[in-house]
Structure 1
Amino acid sequence: MEKKERTKGVLSSILWTALAFQLCAVPDARGQFYDGGATYDITEDSGYAFIDGEGTVVNLHATIANAIYVCHFGAPGATLNFFDDARAGLIYADTGSYVNIYGGSVDVWVSVSTGTEVTIYGEQFVVVDAAGTHEYDPGTMLSTANAVLTAYDGWGEVLFNGRISCVEGAYVSLASENVESGGLDVQIDVKPGSNSNVINSRSRGKVAVAVLSDATFDATQLLPETVNFAGAGVAQNKKGKYMAHAEDVDDDGNDDMVLHFRTNELELEDGIITVTLTGQINGEAISGTDNVRVL
């Protein structure tokens, strides 16, 4: 029986792979390249999309009939924002890529490599795999080799539907769709300089979080008094001064904003979770997320 199940799984994988190659073999498909660190708002359909390079952002509101490749050519740091009017045959999220899925559909699968940040937004998630049907809430880290995921909004309407395929060690983050409406989406780094985002919830110390700047966004303008991270405000010293400073933590030539929070004030649950930071810059709301392991 076990041998039969393994054979069935192998055949299923072969069939899905064959379908993927067939979908990508349309002879007259048009391909577009997006790079150079620019932001592109895509509203016209095409056959393929190749997104590469630090700071390159593609906001997709169209159909890419065959495949989208993010950081496929070894130039990390590109972002794909996939909205509710977007559709694709496949999405390949390669190492160093950022993929935010707010809605839409993928016909074959979203392929997730290690070293990526893939986030799917919704208020409720239903996953169907070989073991059955599972329901998840925002904040879940999902790692699956082959499962169909449906994301719903707060009214039970479908936001996104597609098959997810993670290589070993890779995962997708399931996050609340309300993060998108929190204003400008920014990059944050919990415990900058550390290879692991581990937080000991029983610690009496502090957790550093960096809000990252880029060529078009100056994180040092962030007002510490408006910041909330996992339910806590920025820590203050004995003189009432906010514990925040400018520092280029990612060595890109732009000063970032580093903020410190008291660990015992954070509202965290044990396990691998997604944490959110919100705040304001010049009256505009910003929000960013990162993944941490809470002990």
Structure 2
Amino acid sequence: MSIDSTWLRCPNCFSDLSPVDERVFGCDRGHRFDRAKQGYLTLLPPKAPRTVGDDRAMLDARAALLGSGAYRPIADEILHATAIDSAGGTPSIADLGCGTGYYSQRIAEAHPGARFLLADRSADAVRASLRSLPDGTGIVMDIWRPFPIRSAVADVVLNVFAPRNPAEFARILHASGRVVVVVPRVGHLAELRRAGLLLDVPPEKASTTTERLDDAGLIRRSAATVEYRIEADGNLRRMLSGMGPSAHHAASTADVSDDTSIEVTVSVDVLGFGHRSGSASG
């Protein structure tokens, strides 16, 4: 696993990062960052909150669910929304909130030469993503602070069921690039929400997201609703309820019966955004 420093800037002073030696990266102002043995960098700003993001149990549940193919239609629509031109050279994809790396892996299958930046607040998530995409550059970062990512370096910014920082999305996006955001609709996994296994989805999430990105100079270029139903036995329902933020809050699923299956609705919006002016900010 290697780190492509052309993605990166210092989280302290925003100067470009480059290798100092085999295991250390630094900037010209003397800030230094050690590469973990698993191949990633932790690039957190001073006094960053002590949150750790998704834990291993959540990531294991997500990996099992995604490995079952239950969300493959979402991955297919994400690939379409990236609008990557196969004849346009090597695309650079920044997966912010990368989780297990599943969606980036789907893009890599379609575009074998693509470059990937795999970023998450959870070190466990970055490690999982690098197992899926060992040639990617992995970083632990804080989505709410200025990114340790250089300006205008991403052809695609991918943000799937993850927190959003529209101003920073706009800054790191190439002039002709695309931000792809996936948000749940009110009906997403509604059967599990009614059973108290998941938190509610705020109404009009796509509209709110669109407004926030528009305020940052990113206008909506595409929108697609992906909606279908899956047959979910007890094991699959435990995966669905255990793989996201609801795992910290929802009722226990220990009493979910493996003997019963129900139909569960999958319903999401896949939104594509580009710079309003056609030129990146920075």
What range is the shorter-chain TM-score in? under 0.3
Structure possessing the higher radius of gyration over alpha carbons? 1
* Structure 1 or 2: more helix by fraction: 2
Name the TM-score, length of structure 1 as normaliser: 0.25
Which structure would you say has the larger RCO, counting Cα contacts within 8 Å and 6 or more residues apart? 2
